[in-house]
Structure 1
Amino acid sequence: MKKVLMLVLTGLAVSVAASAWAEGGNAEAGKTKSATCAACHGADGNSTNPEWPKLAGQHPSYILKQLMNFKNDERVNPSMTPMAKPLSDADMADLAAYFSSQTKKLGEADQTKAVLGEQVYKGGNNATGVSACAACHGPTGAGNPAAKFPSLNGQHVTYIKNQLYSFRKGERANDAGKMMRNIAAGMTDVEIDAVAEYISGLK
């Protein structure tokens, strides 16, 4: 628990400037610049393909961090990396401001899996050392913008599962202090599936 707390505090300390920068973006300019993003993420940030994340309502500090990570090869994706490379600092701040200002369309959980999902999300799994998701992402999945912990509620099940698998395999490695990689490493496929369903239904 102390280790998690230290990582959270570290995340808070290093994110203040970036958060202010993202919040200083121009949403109207971001709307214009988002035309190329719309093909995958939707004009309002609500993607229809479940493999691509919903960006609507996401914290601007988190969107900015991910764009910066894609641009700097700290997070690699064959679609996003080339899209982020030409973006300027202002472009990224404007896009973050625009998508964060949109309203997320929430999902529905598969109730046959949501019971286990709720148990893991709220309480983790002490036997395998899996921390509760709610510790960082909040009981309703709203996240923590100051620490750059994303809002998860209503996100696509497929996208959440894919990210957890990527963290578990070490293919995604832009998490502070390996927090997500360490958590995902202890999760079973069944737990990942259940948690993704539960998160999708959070409001």
Structure 2
Amino acid sequence: MKFIASSLCAAAFAALSFSAQAESAPQEAKVDLANGQAKYGACVACHAADGNSTIPANPKLAQQHPEYLAKQLKEFASGKRDNAIMKGMVATLNEQDMKDVAAFLAMQPGKAGYAKNKDTLALGERIYRGGIPDREIAACAGCHSPNGAGIPAQYPRLSGQHAEYTEAQLNAFRSGARANSAQMTGVAAKMNDKEIKAVSDYIAGLR
């Protein structure tokens, strides 16, 4: 009987200890989609109400991984990603707002895009799916997936993105103007203008 009582006491103590730890552990704040939509209102002129920008210079944000979007917003705010317009736009957002906006955009269905240049389609596909082995450039598909869906929380969704925007970002990585991804800087640094343009156009048509 003493053994049973002792075991019950130990179990009760363990349960109380676990409960106390659970209560003291920081709770992950839940996203507020309504707040995200409201805060996103200031972004509509450039990125459209549903995140499917129709302006080639401005990225489509719909269906993008929320972790990636929140990271970019934080880096615009800190200046790690240099963009004067975006820095001003995010100046009024706190970290929770950024998560809410990112979550709202992630819920919006992305609209398909299309490749425009048939003459460079084969080159773009070759780079995206096989990389450029003689220059040790890995296939884009390895991180962004064969259909451009990306890998959540690690690599962004690319499918359907405006070719003009993708090309501009690859050029910015190559020149060092965009310096918030050492991995992408290393990749772009080894690519020439024709390759960047071809793979950007190919990405636009991924479904």
Question: 8 Å contact 2:66–2:153 — kept in the other structure?
Answer: no
Q: Which residue of 2 aligns with 1:44?
A: 50
Q: Deviations over 1:76-131 (max 9, x none)?
A: 11210111122111110110011110011111112322111010001111122221
Give TM-score, length-normalised by structure 1: 0.85
3-state DSSP class of the match of 1:130? coil
In structure 2, give the amino acid aligned to 1:118.
Answer: E
Poorly superposed stretches of 4+, deviation over 6 Å: none
Q: Percent identity?
A: 46
Q: Which residue of 1 aligns with 2:153?
A: 146
Q: Deviations over 1:137-173 (max 9, x none)?
A: 11111111132x1000000000000000000001111
Q: Which has the higher contact order (CA 8 A, sep 6+)?
A: 1
Tell which structure's C-alpha radius of gyration is larger.
2
Structure 1: runs of 5+ lacking an equivalent: 1-19
In structure 1, give the amino acid aligned to 2:184.
Answer: M
Deviates more, 1:62-71 or 1:124-133: 124-133
Q: Deviations over 1:176-199 (max 9, x none)?
A: xx1000000011111111101110
Structure 2: runs of 5+ lacking an equivalent: 1-27
Equivalent residue in structure 1 for 2:120, among 84, 91, 113 = 113
Q: Which residue of 2 aligns with 1:182?
A: 186
Equivalent residue in structure 1 for 2:177, among 149, 160, 171 = 171
Q: Which residue of 2 aligns with 1:7?
A: none
Q: Which residue of 1 aligns with 2:70?
A: 64
Deviates more, 1:106-115 or 1:89-98: 106-115
Q: Distance in 2 between matches of 1:25 and 1:151?
A: 21
Query: What CA RMSD, in Å, does the superposition of the two structures yield over aligned residues?
Result: 1.2
In structure 2, give the amino acid aligned to 1:143.
Answer: G
Give TM-score, length-normalised by structure 2: 0.84
Question: 8 Å contact 1:27–1:101 — kept in the other structure?
Answer: no
Q: Which residue of 2 aligns with 1:9?
A: none
